[in-house]
Amino acid sequence: MIKPRITRGGAVVEKNIDWKNMIAERELMGAILNKISEGIAVLDQEGRFIMMNDAYSQMLSYEGRVLEDAMNSYDLEKNNAYININEFIIGKVREGISFDDEICTISSKGERKHICFSCKPICNEEGEAIYTVVCLHEMTKLMLQSEKIQQQKEYINNIIQALPTPVAVVAYPGCTYEFVNKEYVEFLKAMTRKALDHNDIIGSTISEILPLACADAIKGILGKIYKEPMTTQEKMISFKTPKGEAKHYQMLHTALKYSANDKMYIVRIGMDITSQVVLLENTEALTKAKEEFFATISHELRSPIAVMHSIFQMLNDDYYKRELNEKTRKLLKKAQRNNRKLLRLVNNFLDITKAEAGFMQLRQVNANLVKYTQYLVKTILPVVEKKKIQLNFTSTCSTKRIVLDIEKYERILLNLLSNAVKYTQYEGKIDVYIHEDDRYLKVGVKDNGSGISEEEIDKIFDRFYISCSSEKKLNEGTGIGLSLVKRFMQLMEGKIEVNSHPGEGSEFILSFPKKLKNTTEYTMIEELQPTRESISLEFSVLYD
């Protein structure tokens, strides 16, 4: 501390220095510098250390050494050569070179460190450098983390480059390509028919690379993602390669979480779906061919049988019967019965084949299931009376109208009724009832006939399966009927259940969903009655 001595006239005549206080201040300054985590050292112009803090000495292993003779064993890696760190620093000081944040790697006995150097001169009043301050900041951990991040980036980049799928990152709203992998480059080359490489694409906009119409469509998709980042947008792109090959890609667009400067980075991923599209086209062609085949085969098989059926009906008319003798009429009746069986077989076979191939169509309307079922039951009464079977109908449901395919329901119920009549003994009993629960209208056909064994219940709906327990005479048929019934029920979103025991009869339950078509129109089912023709086909054994 300086204490000036002043005369009465105000002039300074003497100075005394308080060395004790000055030393204390220097020690305080030293203590403050030692608390700083960065290494700080002061050197004179000859390169001699005037001062260094603890952080500096620890970074370069100067502990316990005399300041004037400070040396260390660390070497600086520079341009594939090594120089002692002291020599490097002293050389900079003597040359009067100033620099900021120069990152260097130093090593000693296998230990490597990354140090950030700064070197600044302290000048006198004449501007001459008298001292140099050297600052060190150890960046080993940061550099190791940076190297690890770089390795991870290279690893991820190698994976993405190796993917057999086009991948690109586009910055929005500029719509510039920020990243593309090799497959994306090949994808763009094939799509645009341009000789593009990686450098041509990176930094270019979508409009500069892609055809205008395609670029505008993609911009629209990117705009949607920008507004709704959590969504994924898809677009199918089709084009022909320079070789004339058709290619189809399903492009997925999704936003990356990272964004900066109001930019959003959107990933475009392309999936080559050419093989799936070709398969779909081939399937559609095959479907069309099958539909044409079914239309042709249906006409070719049904037409001659239907003609014969009409002829038999005409010959059975009273006018022609008088012209025929008894023997001829018996032969005609036998031929007509077998013609009905053949027509039923052809109809069932074609229908089950169409249903299994997925070509069966529904013609559903809102229908009164209760009344139509009652009509069907009444219509077959003359047939069941030949076996003196008691046929009953009951309904306990309040819901009557549901959506229904009339023609298919008619065939389902007539098939179940014909089976019930076939396997029920003379003077037996058949009950037809309709119940309902919260979800379904249920139509039941219950008889007291021969019944079905437990082993056969799971098989009776299989195509071509015929119960082995039936009598030989009653076992005539193809085993298609119940299989077709199940298919029809599945088409109408319904289900069929069976309860049966040998000698106790069988019960078939049809469950139809309680729903209606969204229309105010209703089909007047009560005015539609099943044709005599459909009944004669289902009951061909008993009808004549």
Express each pLDDT in 419-466 by its tens digit: 899 888 889 999 999 999 999 999 999 999 888 888 888 888 887 666
Look at residue 175 and give its three-state secondary structure. Answer: coil
Could you tell me the residue ranges of all domains in the chain?
18-145, 163-272, 279-353, 362-538
Q: How far is residue 144 CA from its own chain's centroid?
A: 40
pLDDT at 16 over 80: no
As a whole number of angstroms, the distance between CA 316 and CA 310 comes to 10
Tokens linked to 82: 């090594």
Among candidate residues 456, 432, 428, 451, the one with its CA nearest the CA of residue 443: 432
- Three-state secondary structure string covering 392-435: EEEECCCCCEEEEEHHHHHHHHHHHHHHHHHHCCCCCEEEEEEE
DSSP for 240-256, written as a single string: E-TT--EEEEEEEEEE-
Q: Are 135 and 117 in contact (CB under 8 A)?
A: yes
Look at residue 4 in the predicted model and tell me its pLDDT. 42
Provide the angle, in degrees to the nearest 10, between the axes of the packed helices 406-423 and 481-491: 150
As a whole number of angstroms, the distance between CA 15 and CA 511 comes to 118
Q: Are 1 and 26 in contact (CB under 8 A)?
A: no
Look at residue 474 in the predicted model and tell me its pLDDT. 47
Tokens linked to 369: 């299931």
Residues 234-252: pLDDT tens digits?
999 999 988 889 999 999 9
- Alpha-carbon dihedral angle through residues 162, 163, 164, 167, given to the nearest 10 degrees: -120
- Alpha-carbon dihedral angle through residues 42, 48, 50, 55, given to the nearest 10 degrees: 60
Tokens linked to 339: 């013609």
Does this chain's domain 18-145 share its CATH topology with 163-272? yes
Q: How much is the average pLDDT of 251-269?
A: 83
Question: Which pLDDT band, with edges at 50, 70 and 90, does 147 fall under?
Answer: confident
Q: How much is the average pLDDT of 169-181?
A: 93
Question: Which pLDDT band, with edges at 50, 70 and 90, does 516 fall under?
Answer: confident
Residues 194-245: pLDDT tens digits?
999 999 999 999 999 998 889 999 999 999 998 888 889 999 999 998 888 9
β-pairing, 429-436 vs 390-395, is parallel
- C-beta neighbour count of 79 within 10 angstroms: 6
Strand order in the sheet with 39-44: 49-52, 39-44, 129-138, 111-123, 99-108, 75-78, 81-84
- Within 8 A by CB and 6+ apart from 135, the residues are 38, 39, 40, 117, 118, 119, 120
pLDDT at 477 over 80: no
Type of residue at 317: D
User: Can you list the alpha helix ranges (DSSP code H) found in 444-541?
Assistant: 454-457, 481-491, 532-538
- For domain 18-145, is the CATH number 3.30.450.20? yes
Q: What is the largest CA-CA distance in the chain?
A: 172
- Within 8 A by CB and 6+ apart from 377, the residues are 391, 393, 417, 432
Class of domain 163-272: alpha beta
As a whole number of angstroms, the distance between CA 402 and CA 367 comes to 6
Fold designation for 362-538: Heat Shock Protein 90 (3.30.565)
